[in-house]
Structure 1
Amino acid sequence: MNPTVPAEKQEVVKAQADFWAHSRRSPIVRTPADYGMEYEEVSFPSYDQVKLKGWFIPSEGSNKLIICNHPMPMNRYGYPGHLDEFKQLCGFEVNFLPEYKILHDAGYNLLCYDQRNHGESGEGDGGVAAAGRHEWKDCVGVKIWADKHPVFSKMNLGLMSRCMGANAQFEAISRYPELFHNVKCMIAPQPVTVRYAAEAFCDQLGILEYIDVLDEEIRKLGGFATTEIGPKPFVPNVHLPTLISQVHEDSWTKPEDVENIFALLGTREKKLVWIEGTKNRFDGYNFFGEHPKEMLNWYAKYM
């Protein structure tokens, strides 16, 4: 490691590098059946042939499909922060199932999947996580699969792309705009430029002055530097109606990051929803399951 880092700080820097380069798989502890919904286990390949796993949750008689992905280090269900082993990041459960139930009952079919190196999906890129910079290949893969599917291909499509999944979705759309031309709209909770989150973490851990060394260590593990991970280079090429939500006082980032992402979006049909009353980023992932009005209005308007 860089000799400027004191010995007592080196292990902290290495642990942070491992977190950003490798994420961590978390278990799926709930299913749609727990909320009275029928569902089907599905699998399909990413753009680069990583095996991805997910759920299809049908809404009888509907021709509308929302494709849902998730943040790092979560999965299609959410995040079991209520379990001792996973309390470090938030200390409570993130559960997408109430949100799925609301959308299901409102007449939307749902296709929810685990991105590479998360949940039950396969390993990609040597197990390296990139908060979107590799995971865009999953967004492309699920869209190609849905377009070839005998049922899904006939449906109106929307997207629910969260955090890492939003970063990935923006990059996928930028790289392959023709593939997403028929998507009606997108909701993108909490996209992020990782440098902001890394600075917040390093500040809390007393290693902020070594953040450039952190980037060096992440690269050694095969990952991207924190300055290289984020959606700003890609959002100008996104022209579908997009709603972004964000915890305003999020302790992991700063409002300016999401404000800049929002301003750069290439669409005129966009909305930014601030979530108030908390500093915990993970509250933002439960928001639409508890306060669905903005979500339902956006999908109803465009789908």
Structure 2
Amino acid sequence: MQPQPEDDITQTLKAMAKGWSQPGRSPVLRTPTDEGLAFENVTFPSQDGVPLEAWYIPCPDSRRLVIVNHPLTFNRYGLASHLEPWRSFGAAGGNTFEVDYLADYRILHEAGYHVLTYDERNFGLSGSANGGLNSGGRFEARDVIGSLRYVRSRADLEGVAVGLFSRCNGANATLFAIHTEPQEFDDVRCLVLCQPLSIGSVMRRELEMMNLIDHLDTLEREVQLAASCTFDQMSPNDWARSVHTPTFIYQVHDDLMTTPADVQATFDALPIDDKSLHWIHGTQARWDGYLEFQRRPGPMLDWLNRYMT
């Protein structure tokens, strides 16, 4: 294989940094009605005032609520990754199929939970903020806090048990929010974290697949120039050290977009005994991890029921 010209490599790295630091929005293609669920369209402010669009799915007579968020470029519906241009986002890892989260909400509802699910800033139908920049969960942490404050503001939800079901970039956001504002989580019963991810890990894997791993430092610099953050500043591995809430993490073990070591490091950093790490085997597609709950919800529901009953 002929080596790529340096100018081509430079442009590739710049494009990668820009694509990650300024990800595009994806459409909200379905609503809870498509799963036969009654719901409210609601909006509430993030911690810093960004308007967030959400669905509240009530479960009559329940005293338990789960707040759900989503990965990068996704929204509360999921991701239209069976359609271009969103199909290209995870294509290198075999992630060219749709992720539809509506079944997750039906399963939670049938299990006796109210559900609040929202579009993070710069995604779905929520407001723009921070120049549209992605931060690996740092800015989005303010959305996690906003969702908790919204639940506490509703008289009809006073005293409910609250758990967080946070996915990928949303899981990072939850960990960073706990790390920086731990008092906001005093009444959160438990966490379910789907595939938290260090940005440096996914960038390393992408460069390895392109035979450009020698340019990792250059790519990190390009990301810093685009988003003002280094890879170490966008890793949940350190943030997890601040968590004192029972935590269940699940991850595709052979995910082509990262390594088992990265998620293991996040799990190991949790300074608590009430934690569990669930590996998904038999696939290399990260998107299969995003669909794991609706395919095999038992372990996650058992965790929620243990701490929220």
Deviation at 1:254, TM superposition (A): 1.0
Q: Unaligned regions of 5+ residues in structure 2, if any?
A: none
Distance in 2 between residues matched to 1:151 and 1:257, nearest whole Å: 40
User: Counterparts of 2:119 and 2:189 in 1: how far apart (Å)?
Assistant: 22
Aligned twin of 1:39: 39
* Structure 2 match to 1:113: 118
Find the counterpart in structure 2 of residue 21 from structure 1: 21
Q: Deviations over 1:52-82 (max 9, x none)?
A: 1110011111111100001101111111111
Q: Any conservation in 2 of the 1:193–1:230 contact (CA below 8 Å)?
A: yes
Partner secondary structure for residue 161 of structure 1: strand
For residues 93-104 of structure 1, the aligned pairs below 5 Å read 93-104=98-109
Identity over the aligned pairs, expressed in percent?
A: 38
Deviations 1:255-281 (CA, angstroms, capped at 9, x unpaired): 111111111112210110000000011
CA distance in 2, matches of 1:102, 1:92: 21
1:236 equivalent in alignment to 2:248: no
Show the counterpart of 1:8.
Answer: 8
The one-letter code sitting in structure 2 at the alignment partner of 1:83 is L
Query: What whole-Å deviation, never above 9, does each CA across 1:138-182 have from its counterpart, x for those lacking one?
Result: 111111222122123331100001111111101111212221111
For residues 194-233 of structure 1, the aligned pairs below 5 Å read 194-233=199-238
- Mapping for residues 47-126 of structure 1, pairs under 5 Å: 47-88=47-88, 89=90, 90-126=95-131
Deviations 1:107-132 (A, max 9, x none): 10000001111111111111101120
Letter in 2 for 1:141: G
Secondary structure, counterpart of 1:282 in structure 2: helix
1:84 Cα deviation from its structure 2 partner: 2.8
Contact 2:135 2:227 in 1 (8 A): no
Contact 2:134–2:227 (Cα < 8 Å) also in 1:
no
Find runs of 4+ consecutive structure 1 residues off by over 6 angstroms: none
Number of positions where the alignment pairs a residue of Structure 1 with one of Structure 2: 299
Return the alpha-carbon distance in structure 2 between the equivalents of residues 180 and 151 of structure 1: 20
Q: TM-score, normalised by structure 1?
A: 0.95
| Structure 1 runs not aligned, ≥5 long | none
Q: Tell me which of 118, 126, 133 is aligned to 1:128.
A: 133
